[in-house]
Amino acid sequence: MQGLMMDMPLLISSLAEHAARFHAGREILAVTADNPEHRYTFSDAVSRSKRLAKALQALGLEQGDRVATIAWNDHRHLEIYYGVSGSGLVCHTINPRLFPEQLVFIINHAEDRFICVDPMFVPLLEAIADKISNVEGIIVMTDADHMPDSKLPNLHCYETLLGEQSDDYEWPMLDENAAAALCYTSGTTGDPKGILYSHRSTILHAYASVAPDAMGLASSDTILPVVPLFHVNAWGIPYSAFMAGAKLVLPGPKMGDGEALYQLMDNEDVTMALGVPTVWLALLQYTEQAGKRLDKLERTLVGGAAVPRSMIEAFHKKHDVELRQGWGMTEMSPLGTVNAPKAGLEGLSEDERLDLATKAGRGIFGVEMRIVNDDGEVQPWDGVAYGALQVRGPWICSDYFKLEGKAGSHTDDGWFETGDVATIDPDGYMAITDRTKDVIKSGGEWVSSIDLENCAMGHPGVAEAAVIGVAHEKWTERPLLIVVPKEEGGIEKDSMLDWFDGKVASWWKPDDVVFVSELPHTATGKVKKIELRKQFADYELPTS
């Protein structure tokens, strides 16, 4: 027997309608290159998204066509999210920090017909213009007065296009499984791979994200996404903020600027901020130097890479801000786990609480997890056994765009291979111990590079740390610690290595430490271990 409920498709346009109806006056503040303080409302954003949808239609775009963006987090980028996806086109966000050859690959692979671009990124397109012949037009995200002087053919001005349209527009009724957005993984090895989100997956992910034990978003919140709209939809914030009716603060090109972020938080009464650990290092460093306190911020969601215990402690103790760790992937829309407190664990000591907070968190409803060993055997959730982490759920990719199963990313029984190695404890808290390819294999046992990095980051003189495995005659591999000290020459080698005594198993202690002035980072701000491994491939560890 079938239920008797309406079969309404879950569409991104319905979020726009909801926000415009129930939260019309809620504010969106954006920093853009042409205006450091652009302020308008949800109602304005939705009206302009409709005008954009009409403009794109007038340019000849049809359902399923890809429209790319290369832009920072601002109000125009947000309007493109709704105007493009809401009208049945596919919003393909591109990371401007990619190498030119990656940009060419991605734009051609996606078959983008139009690209919306921030004025400052126009030179990126000029440099590759002759290699992206499928692109019919470039829409520069600014007004007529700020249009760059460029020889690119088919250049349009965003504000002029919008000015030519009214907002008299009905969103089309689409299939909820239709493609809505496209994002490529940075691809540290091989070509980037495209993840094609659907309307349905996006809405379900938004429902799950706003829940109290996930992001816990309410209409009373003011959200600062320091995660880019060009990567995994800024963790879905454009959608979940519209669902909740929360005020948005979009930092534009100021994402890596600790002082600017602090000012935005303070001026706009930000209650919730999201970002990768590197971003918060910059903010914490600024507050420390300037003697400031994050008085208004209530909580942060930090993920995308392991979060050092020292960072959790700094937020908590110095600023009285709750830091929730999250784990996810581009392939997962991205949210998989969030480390929220759980009933029954109230009695934990301060120290135990901090230890727990270093874990990636509990699976949110909609994401199933399992860990399997090298023989494919499912491992117990005892917090000790580790294995390759596999997941499944309605906002996890079933394949990559145009790869038709060739990526080998899924098991025969339909689980997605995350490429992460993890433990899961009896309470369901998952902890990432490594990327499969970063695991250090010492004497047949696995050493967690993440645990060692976390421990090193707790040293007061350490600004950033990475641990890689280097070849060792007897043990196959041994850990090498690479440290960026806060002050050059500020840490002695021995004192750095002794720091691990009593904090990790003795055989995990790195064999050596190298001090460097900076670590290489990926386009999404993560330490590029592949490059470090290349750089230190011939490194000779001390023999004793």
**Part in contact with ligand ADP (CB under 6 A); list of ranges 7-15, 293-301, 439-447, 519-527:** 519-527
Residue 235 sits in the site that holds ligand ADP (CB under 6 A): no
List binders of ligand ADP among 175-234 (CB under 6 A): 185-186
CB of 517 closer than 8 Å to CB of 488: yes
In three state form, how does the secondary structure of 430-451 look? EEEEEEHHHCEEECCEEECHHH
> Least Å distance between CB 57 and ligand ADP?
32
Which CB atom, from 14 or from 185, has the smaller least distance to ligand ADP?
185
- Min. distance of Cβ 413 from ligand ADP in angstroms? 20
Query: In the bound complex, what is the minimum distance in angstroms from residue 115's beta carbon to ligand ADP?
Result: 20
**Which token pair is 335?**
């949210």
The sign of the CA dihedral 191, 196, 202, 205 is negative
Least distance to ligand ADP, CB of residue 259, Å: 26
For residue 16, what are the contacts with CB-CB under 8 A and spacing of at least 6?
Answer: 46, 49, 82, 86, 171, 242
Evaluate the CA torsion angle 318, 462, 361, 304 in order and state its sign: positive
What secondary structure does DSSP assign to 149-176, as a single string?
Answer: ----SSEEEHHHHHHT--S--PPP---T
**Count of residues for the chain?**
544
526 binds ligand ADP (CB under 6 A): yes
Kindly state whether residue 325 participates in binding ligand ADP, applying the rule CB under 6 A.
yes
All residues at 6 or more sequence positions from 471 whose CB lies less than 8 Å from its CB, including other chains:
477, 537
Which range in 43-51, 206-214, 328-336, 460-468 contacts ligand ADP by CB under 6 A? Answer: 328-336
CA neighbor of 104 nearest in space, from 128, 71, 72: 128
Place of tokens 């910059």: 282
Q: Which of 87, 271, 418, 454 binds ligand ADP (CB under 6 A)?
A: 418
Q: Smallest distance from the beta carbon of 526 to ligand ADP, in angstroms?
A: 5
Which part of the chain contacts ligand ADP (CB under 6 A), choosing from 14-22, 321-329, 494-502, 505-513? 321-329
Task: Decide: is 360 part of the binding site for ligand ADP (CB under 6 A).
Answer: yes
Closest of 320, 326, 286, 321 to residue 305, by C-alpha: 326
Bridge partners of 479?
Answer: 469
**Shorter beta-carbon distance to ligand ADP: residue 174 or 305:** 305
Instruction: Tell me if 423 contacts ligand ADP by CB under 6 A.
Output: no
Q: Does 338 bind ligand ADP (CB under 6 A)?
A: no
Cα atoms in the 13 Å half-sphere on the side-chain side of 198: 17
By CB under 6 A, which span of 36-44, 221-229, 308-316, 520-528 interacts with ligand ADP?
A: 520-528
C-alpha closest to that of 406 among 91, 98, 194, 90: 194
C-alpha 95/C-alpha 74 separation (Å) is: 15
- Contact with ligand ADP (CB under 6 A): which of 83, 245, 258, 303? 303
Find the shortest distance in angstroms from Cβ 429 to ligand ADP. Answer: 12
Catalytic residue set: 185, 331, 441, 446
329 near ligand ADP, judged by CB under 6 A: yes
Q: Which stretch binds ligand ADP (CB under 6 A): 9-17, 322-330, 403-411, 510-518?
A: 322-330
Minimum distance, C-beta of residue 276 to ligand ADP, in the bound complex (Å): 8
Task: Write the interaction track for ligand ADP spanning residues 278-297; mark x where CB under 6 A is met and - where it is not.
Answer: --------------------
Check: CB of residue 219 under 8 Å from CB of residue 82.
no
119 contacts ligand ADP (rule: CB under 6 A): no
DSSP string, 302-350: EESSPPPHHHHHIIIIIH--EEEEEEE-GGGSSEEEE----TT-TT--H
Nearer to ligand ADP, 56 or 232 (CB): 232
Segment interacting with ligand ADP, rule: CB under 6 A, options 84-92, 289-297, 300-308, 493-501: 300-308
**Contact indicator for 543, 521 with CB cutoff of 8 Å:** no
Site residues, ligand ADP (CB under 6 A): 185-186, 303-307, 325, 327, 329-330, 334, 360, 418-420, 432, 435, 522, 524, 526
